[in-house]
Amino acid sequence: MRRLLLIALVLMSLLSAAPAVAERAGGTLHYIAPYGGDLLGLDAHKSTRVQDFLVLTSFNHSLYSWEPGVNKPKLELATKADVSADGKVWTFKLRDDVKFHHGRKMTVDDVIFSYNRVASPATKSPSALYVRIIKGAKDVEDGKAQSIAGLKKIDDHTLQITLENPVNLPYFLFNPGTAILPKDEVEKKGDGFSTDPVGCGPFQFVKWVKGSEVTVKKFPGYFVPNRPFLDKIVFKIMSESQARDNAFRAKELDATIVEPVQYPVYKKDPAISKNIIEVAEMFTRAIGFNFDKEPFKKKEVRQAINFAIDKNLIIDKLLHGKAVPAVGWLPSTSTGFNPKAKAYDYDPAKAAELMKKAGYEKGFTADALSTGNASWGTVVFEAAMPMLKKINITLNIQQMEGATLVDRMQKGEFDLFSYSMGTGPDPYQALARWKSDASRIAGNYINYKNPAFDKVMEQAAAERNDAKHAALLQQADGILLEDAALMFFNYNKAVLAWSTA
């Protein structure tokens, strides 16, 4: 029997409170990268996918990290942060013992380089929205400046960050996409950095067998004493839930993400049920509409689709109850959630009425893109197809690998897509992806533009009173809901099972 330690493996890519995972002291943990097929790459600044971040957080660190239990960001690469009275100027004292995996110590230059790289249009980083809060970052993003004006080096270990507005900075700079990378290695390797990365996290990269697995090993120079416990982690790339189930039962995986098809089975299993952790996840599953195309420019069509789909039935029958019906964009676990918000109920008659009002009584055919994911993939479109047929909408369903789907979404090459997107922990950050100045690359895949929404978000960014700030975010979420910016499907339950054998 191998000795096990329960640890908090923070699934930073999920942007939510993490379950605990069984970890062996001094051994190898066989875990999974379970979503959407192979990785896009191992360059933290160029990815926004859960699939990639699950792996990337093992060997990278951002300025802040997420602290489980406390459920808020904590300083990771700095010992101190002083904030000015107006909340716009943050001065950080960086740790002087942080080493990158190639041996060099981290300095302020690496932090400034990393944030400038994220903002640069040449990088095309989906995480640009997180550094956009820094004064002058948008100018870099728009190609109007070469460097972010709000970043100032005081000395090698003292950094000053000036913000555009007094937002809650830690909730932006803990994101895995804002990882601090070594300037020299990134510049030396160029595009090769994505397959041979260097970070400053507890583990260092060993190898990536594309389509199969990623291996990382314990970094002996890690700045936290006696950490990590493990010698190695092997992330198995398994997008099919049945393959993960087989591997987990065969003891080839020490821990696994539980999908809907296994959820009721594992809950009834006498052995597995004792080793399951279930938490509310800050991810919203939704169907996105291409706002650049007819008929989705018409609000009545978008509202009709929301009324036409019986999401409760799909959650019950298809997802086996492993989800909560969505009321709007922000989940019930978010501080910006409005408990008085009224969701779109299943109302086919209302849907038909709206289609007629929009001039689409005879319907249309639409390309519906997603992956084979059992919770939010093409199965959702398949379940919704007979419901949409009642209002004369025909779906041309196209299933593809996750990286291909993201590429199509970022290019606007779709009519509809089904996807799972982060909606926490900071509600402003979760809503900011839908601002008019956010590009498809930055996560505004539907190219949503609404001046009323933008105005409320600007007011929220400047509001320092917590209650008023939350009320403005509820108002912004309400605009998305009334505008039917998406088909709001569900909020997921994150379920993890681990083996004690």
Return the CATH number at 181: 3.90.76.10
Asked if the structure places residue 214 within a domain, the reply is: no
Residues 445 and 316 in one domain: yes
Question: In this structure, what CATH number is given to the domain that contains residue 446?
Answer: 3.10.105.10
The angle, 0 to 180 degrees and rounded to 10, between the axes of the packed helices 299-308 and 378-389 is: 100
Residue 249 belongs to a domain: no
- pLDDT score at 283: 87
Among 187, 206, 225, the domain-final residue is 206
Of 40, 126, 51, 123, the C-alpha closest to 443 is 126
Residue 161 falls inside a structural domain: yes
The answer on 294 and 415 residing in a single domain is: yes
From residue 243, alpha-carbon distances to 20, 118, 247, 249, 331 in Å are 22, 36, 6, 10, 30
- The pLDDT value given to residue 202: 95
Same domain, 290 and 184: no
**Is 168 in the same domain as 35?**
yes
Residue 17: predicted pLDDT: 31
pLDDT at site 38: 83
- In the prediction, which pLDDT does 21 show? 43
* 194 and 298 both lie in a single domain: no
d(CA 159, CA 172): 17
Residue 16 has what pLDDT? 29
In a domain, 342, yes or no: yes
Alpha carbon distance 367, 360 (integer Å): 17
Please check whether residue 239 lies inside any domain of the structure: no
- Tell me how far apart the alpha carbons of residues 422 and 15 are, in angstroms, rounded to a whole number: 7
Measure CA 377 to chain center: 16
pTM for this predicted structure = 0.74
82-100 core/surface letters (b: 16 or more CB in 10 A; e: else): eeeeeebbbbbbbbeebbb
pLDDT of residue 239: 80
51 lies in the same domain as 169: yes
Query: Is there a single domain that holds both residue 193 and residue 288?
Result: no
Does 291 lie in the same domain as 201?
Answer: no
Helices vs strands, H then E, count in the chain: 15, 19
Give the span between the Cα atoms of 372 and 422, in whole angstroms. 19
Please indicate, yes or no, whether residues 48 and 189 belong to a single structural domain of this protein: yes
Last residue of a domain, one of 151, 184, 206: 206
Polymer length of the chain: 501
Supply the range of the domain harboring residue 340: 280-493
Closest CA to 63 of 180, 153, 162: 180
Residue 212 inside a domain? The answer is no
pLDDT of residue 25: 62
End of a domain among 164, 188, 206? 206
Question: 408 and 299 share a domain?
Answer: yes
Query: Number of structural domains, the chain?
Result: 2
Separation between Cα atoms, residue 190 and residue 232, nearest integer Å? 27
Instruction: Identify the DSSP state of 65.
Output: E
Q: Has residue 388 been placed in a domain?
A: yes
Answer yes or no: do 202 and 286 share one domain.
no
The verdict on residue 247 lying in a domain is: no
Alpha-carbon gap, residue 175 to 53, rounded angstroms: 9
Angle ∠(314,319,323) on CA atoms, nearest 5: 95
Question: pLDDT tens string for the chain (501 positions)?
Answer: 222 222 223 333 332 233 334 444 678 999 988 776 788 899 999 987 778 988 999 999 999 998 876 767 899 999 999 999 999 999 999 999 999 999 999 999 999 999 999 999 999 998 998 999 999 999 999 999 999 999 999 999 999 999 998 888 998 899 899 999 999 999 999 999 999 999 999 999 999 999 999 999 999 999 999 999 899 999 999 888 888 999 999 999 999 988 888 999 999 999 999 999 887 778 899 999 999 999 999 999 999 999 999 999 999 999 998 998 999 999 988 888 999 999 999 999 999 999 999 999 999 999 999 999 888 999 999 999 999 999 999 999 999 998 899 999 999 999 999 999 988 778 998 999 999 999 998 899 999 999 999 999 999 988 878 889 899 999 999 999 999 999 999 998 888 898 876
> Do 254 and 52 meet the contact criterion of CB atoms below 8 Å apart?
no
Residues 314 and 170 both lie in one domain: no
